[in-house]
Amino acid sequence: MAIFTIREDQPTITPEGLFIPEFREIWELDESEDKSKAIRQLAYVYHMASWASAYANLGPDREKEVKKDYLKGIRPTAKMRKAIDKFKRLQETQEVRMLDAALIMCDNLSIYFKGINFNELDEKGQLMNDSRKAVQNIKDVAKMIESLQKMRKDVQKGLAEMGANNGYGIKSQVIDEFLD
């Protein structure tokens, strides 16, 4: 059992997923026969909260891109935010929380590195940033990236197993192939 399934590269809510009140509310508010608005809103929820989403690597740009691709003419609602929060909680493990914190730290580090000015002087006229230290930092970042990649793979594997065991995950051929 899973909350979402991936069909033709699109997240689709499962019948079991509609038992979750936050998802069911979004579904029921769409009175159209084809449920096209609810489908787009739930795809937005999926892409904003899922570690398996193609948008998961976008960091601070994630929401802007998901809105652009899925919510044309629709504003995110409080119900959608509640559904995102619920889906995140249903996926959350200690490993997910650690990965999330590590990714936020990486986003902050990238902002820091982008802002380094090697010509900036302090009040004594000395260079404030040492290029040799920056090169060493880059070497350390490479090790950090390797660790993050392993951590992400472990988290995705754990989420796939969790989905298979208790129904709070995502069933996807993509995840199954990733883990093989």
* Model pLDDT for residues 94-128, shown as the tens digit of each residue: 888 898 889 888 888 888 888 898 989 899 998 88
Phi/psi at 127 (5° precision):
-60, 135
Regarding predicted confidence, which is higher, 45 or 94? 45
Task: Output the CA torsion sign for 9, 10, 16, 21.
Answer: positive
Give the whole-angstrom CA distance, residue 80 versus residue 55. Answer: 17
Taking only Cα atoms into account, the Rg of the chain, rounded to an integer number of angstroms, comes to 20
73: left (phi over 0), alpha (psi -120 to 50) or beta: left
At 117-161, the pLDDT tens digits run 898 989 999 888 888 888 888 889 889 999 998 988 888 787 777
Strands 10-13 and 4-7: antiparallel
Strands 4-7 and 170-171: parallel
Number of domains in the chain: 1
Strand order in the sheet with 4-7: 10-13, 4-7, 170-171
CA atoms in the 13 A half-sphere facing the CB of 147: 11
According to DSSP, residue 166 is labeled H
Please report which confidence band the pLDDT of residue 168 belongs to, taking 50, 70 and 90 as the band edges: very low
Whole-prediction pTM value? 0.67
Residue range(s) defining the domain that contains residue 75? 4-179
pLDDT of 67:
95
Give the whole-angstrom CA distance, residue 142 versus residue 106. Answer: 12
C-alpha triplet 150, 152, 6: angle, nearest 5°:
135
Say if residue 14's pLDDT is above 70.
yes
Alpha-helix runs per DSSP H in the chain:
21-29, 36-49, 62-70, 78-91, 94-115, 131-166, 173-179
> Residue 32 burial (CB < 10 Å; 0-12/13-18/19+)?
exposed
